[in-house]
Amino acid sequence: MAESRKGASPKGISHISGDHLIDKSSARLTMWVARKPFSKGKTMNRKRLSIVMAFILALSVTATAVAPEPAKLPQIKQPDLSKLTVYPVLRVKDGDTIVIRKDMLSITVRLIGVDTPGTVHPSKPVERYGREASRFTTNLLKGEHVYLDPDPQQGLTDAYGRMLTYIYRYPDGLFVNAEIIRQGYGHAYTKFPFKYMEEFRQLESFARQAEKGLWSKNVLPIEAKPPPPVRESPKIYTPSPKPKPEPASITVYVTRTGSKYHRGHCGYLRKSRMPMKLKDAKLMYGPCTRCRPPR
């Protein structure tokens, strides 16, 4: 930084602050433009001006480079992950809530210490940035496995029966709760005490200062479209959900004589194979028990 400042400034004023540097130099250069007679007409004038502009630009870039440094990121000491159990992530409900599989059960997990804008509340409009937050967590965790690390200060479940825990992604150990705040997709949720409260506050300050995600000046306005209603279960353990309904546009296959519909690769399709939209096939055919097409 110091080097580039020296390089861009005229001799003798390299020790003053960036702002002064611009002011004084611009003033001097402007004077230079005005004082010198323009011997070769307007072309020369323009050339000289462009040199001056380039010089000012270089100075502003230098000044930006010496701007105050962003808030420091806290050092967070992680637990010994090798002592924790790993669970598959079934799906991401929203930015701070996921569903994992544990002992053959689907368990809703609320991440400790982070609050992201909601997307799934049936009666409220989509909160600012909710969709982005949800997408961010989905990108981090879709199809992944996680280590769970509950915090005794928080208890095991919240008022909605959701398991409360810190989450580390397997196998790289990414601290997901912290990462969401650091990248500006949620704020530190400090209503109830927890182990990393101070660190999470610092992460939020960092994200705000860096204008990341939610704190960006270009955050999209509230989306008007209401989200699809999602039923919240008050129980801790909810039975495994049925396989996700496929979009209506999906294609399945039927045979000339059979009463079932199939996936494209099914062995029953050897004699005849007629494509059909799933929603149409379901009206007249049953799903094949061998290839198990979407229902």
Site residues for Zn ion per CB under 5 A: 262, 266, 268, 288, 290-291
Token pair recorded at residue 276: 């059909």
Q: Which is nearer to Zn ion, 62 or 255 (CB)?
A: 255
Q: Which is nearer to Zn ion, 74 or 258 (CB)?
A: 258
Question: Residue 153 Cβ, how far from Zn ion at the closest point, in Å?
Answer: 53
Residue nearest to Zn ion (CB): 288
Nearest to 214 by CA among 190, 183, 239: 183
Question: Residue 270 Cβ, how far from Zn ion at the closest point, in Å?
Answer: 11
**Cα-atom radius of gyration of the chain, to the nearest Å?**
30
Nearest to 115 by CA among 191, 20, 220, 57: 191
Token pair recorded at residue 77: 């000491």
Residue 129, Cβ density class (10 Å: 0-12 exposed, 13-18 middle, ≥19 buried): buried
Q: Which is nearer to Zn ion, 79 or 258 (CB)?
A: 258
Question: Residue 254 Cβ, how far from Zn ion at the closest point, in Å?
Answer: 10
Q: Which is nearer to Zn ion, 203 or 291 (CB)?
A: 291
Contact 259, 159 (CB under 8 A): no
Residue 293 CB coordination number (10 Å): 24
Question: Residue 249 Cβ, how far from Zn ion at the closest point, in Å?
Answer: 20
Q: Which is nearer to Zn ion, 167 or 266 (CB)?
A: 266
Output the CA torsion sign for 252, 255, 260, 265.
negative
Rounded Cα–Cα distance for residues 262 and 247 (Å)? 16
Q: Which is nearer to Zn ion, 107 or 288 (CB)?
A: 288
Question: Residue 272 Cβ, how far from Zn ion at the closest point, in Å?
Answer: 13
Token pair recorded at residue 76: 């967070």
251 beta partners: 277
Question: Residue 248 Cβ, how far from Zn ion at the closest point, in Å?
Answer: 20
Main-chain phi, psi angles of 21, to 5 degrees:
-55, -45
